Amino acid sequence: MSSRTARLLQLLEALRTRRHAVSGQTLAGEMRISLRTLYRDIATLRGQGAQIDGDPGVGYLLRPGFTLPPLMFSEDELEALILGARWVASHAADPELAQAAHGVMNRIGSVLPADLRLAVQTSGLFVPPCDDLHAIAPAPWLPALRRAIRDEHALRLDYRDEHGATTQRRIWPFAMAFFDRARLIAAWCELRQDFRHFRADRVVALVNTGEHYPERRHALIQRWRVQFNYPLQN
């Protein structure tokens, strides 16, 4: 990545973190560049589609919704994306998610400049296959569970516990953890009136009710983190 591209990326990040207009003098001071260079960079970003309100002497504010094109990623960021996508493709035990991971790598590669595209295609970062094949056997309910989490839908499921007993539950799924040997769903259980964790490989039957559960996912996650003393994310 050229120094100018890196500087434009830094400027976008500086604007993205502001909720109110920030003066050009402040931005130039933070980035250690001249005001003239800052004004030129603002004009460049506007030309690339960034909706930046403001003028010299007034201040600048980036409107929400602008997405960085992949070619703006740094080498470290690209390597992180590649490594993460390769892990998902080989370890998620979710064929739909694995296909999506391959699609991400193909899409990123298709829009990168030639030198970065070659770096992606020949990256030396690999994810070895899991030694325990049983640990990554496809779990048929994972796509349905992910969609329910994304859509904030309540689920009815038949669930088999560790002793083989099956119970019927209605849950509000809000998170999923991908461990080496299990995929764990975090949910509010209407039967227990509390948070519960369910292994995807113990789900016997599942029906998406199509009904939104009464709380928002982010609120459930926050309550769950507090109850289980997990660090709250910013």
How would you write the chain as a 3-class SS string? CCHHHHHHHHHHHHHHCCCCCECHHHHHHHHCCCHHHHHHHHHHHHHCCCCEEEECCCEEEECCCCCCCHHHCCHHHHHHHHHHHHHHHHHCCCHHHHHHHHHHHHHHHHHCCHHHHHHHHCCCCCCCCCCCHHHHCCCCCHHHHHHHHHHCEEEEEEEECCCCCEEEEEEEEEEEEECCCCEEEEEEECCCCEEEEEEHHHEEEEEEEEEECCCCHHHHHHHHHHHCCCCCCC
Mean pLDDT of 212-220: 95
pTM over 0.85: no
Mean of all residue pLDDT scores within the chain? 84
Q: Which domains does the chain have, with CATH numbers?
A: 3-68 (1.10.10.10), 71-132 (no CATH), 142-227 (2.30.30)
pLDDT tens digits for range 74-92: 778 888 888 888 888 887 7
pLDDT tens digits for range 112-158: 767 777 777 787 888 876 655 445 555 678 889 999 999 999 999 99
pLDDT of residue 1 exceeding 50, the answer is: no
